């Protein structure tokens, strides 16, 4: 049975629900980064959130497959859904590295990046709530700009963290390899948030 109403809010509501999953995962991720002890149990909870996000993505794509008329381009709906899923995937991968690399103590740089992840993921909720009203929203563009600014902060934090790794004479090569990979995945989370914001901005412009 096909839906014929382009005004159907279901996609926007599903995006909002997924944004809340993303933010909840970010809070769990920050807690894990700040206190890496008991890593297996914390990783298990984050993996459960990743499965929850996957299920939500499946719901969005399932609705897309059975909806004849969509509120905006089908390709953009597909892209937003996949990019939102990437955000949680990168958090799960970063978390798994703590267990794989047997990390039991975090760094100040990791804690700073985790805080930026929470800030950006919180803005994803705001983004999706305003996305629903993109034709008349006065806040959508400001939210997009804020997500971009957080990503820029993340770039600076990432570069500083890498510089510390390569200049700290106390660090051995193994430690450098471990944290280089963890930091990269944390930056990937922020990049994915920015990608979602950029696609939303493009959709809003096309439908203005």
Tell me the average pLDDT across 138-158.
97
Tell me the average pLDDT across 161-186.
87
Residue-wise burial string across 147-171, b where 16 or more C-beta atoms lie within 10 A, e elsewhere: bbebbebbeebbeebbebbeeeeee
Q: What percent of the chain has pLDDT over 90?
A: 77
Domain layout of the chain by residue ranges: 10-206
Please tell me the predicted confidence (pLDDT) of residue 3: 41
The pTM of this model reads: 0.92
Please tell me the predicted confidence (pLDDT) of residue 201: 95
Check whether 2 has a pLDDT greater than 70: no
For residues 139 and 130, the answer to whether their CB atoms sit within 8 Å is yes
* pLDDT tens sequence across 113-144: 999 999 999 999 999 999 989 888 889 999 99
Please tell me the predicted confidence (pLDDT) of residue 8: 59
Quick one: tokens of 63?
């609705």
pLDDT band, very low/low/confident/very high, at 171 (cuts 50, 70, 90): low
Backbone dihedral angles phi then psi of residue 174, each to the nearest 5 degrees: -60, -45
> Looking at the domain covering 10-206, what would its CATH class be?
mainly alpha
Burial class (CB in 10 A: 0-12, 13-18, 19+), 101: middle
Please tell me the predicted confidence (pLDDT) of residue 207: 83
* pLDDT tens sequence across 39-88: 889 999 999 999 999 999 999 999 988 888 888 899 999 999 999 999 99
Quick one: tokens of 52?
């929850």
Higher pLDDT, 96 or 170: 96
Please tell me the predicted confidence (pLDDT) of residue 9: 79
For residues 153 and 187, the answer to whether their CB atoms sit within 8 Å is no
Check whether 1 has a pLDDT greater than 70: no
């Amino acid at each position: 049975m096909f839906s014929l109403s382009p005004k159907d809010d279901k996609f926007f509501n599903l995006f909002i629900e997924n944004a809340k999953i993303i933010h909840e995962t970010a809070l769990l991720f920050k807690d894990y980064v700040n206190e890496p002890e008991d890593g297996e149990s914390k990783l298990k909870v984050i993996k459960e959130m990743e499965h929850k996000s996957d299920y939500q993505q499946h719901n969005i794509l399932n609705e897309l497959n059975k909806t004849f008329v969509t509120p905006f381009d089908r390709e953009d709906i597909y892209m937003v859904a996949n990019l939102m899923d990437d955000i949680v995937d990168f958090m799960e991968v970063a978390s798994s590295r703590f267990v794989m690399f047997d990390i039991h103590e975090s760094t100040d740089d990791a804690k700073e990046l985790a805080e930026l992840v929470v800030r950006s993921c919180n803005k994803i909720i705001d983004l999706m709530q305003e996305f629903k009203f993109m034709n008349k929203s006065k806040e959508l563009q400001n939210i997009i700009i804020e997500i971009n600014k957080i990503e820029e902060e993340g770039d600076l934090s990432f570069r500083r963290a890498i510089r510390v790794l390569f200049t700290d004479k106390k660090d051995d090569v193994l430690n450098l390899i471990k944290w280089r990979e963890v930091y990269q995945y944390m930056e990937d989370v922020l990049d994915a948030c920015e990608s979602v914001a950029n696609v939303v901005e493009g959709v809003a412009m096309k439908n203005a």
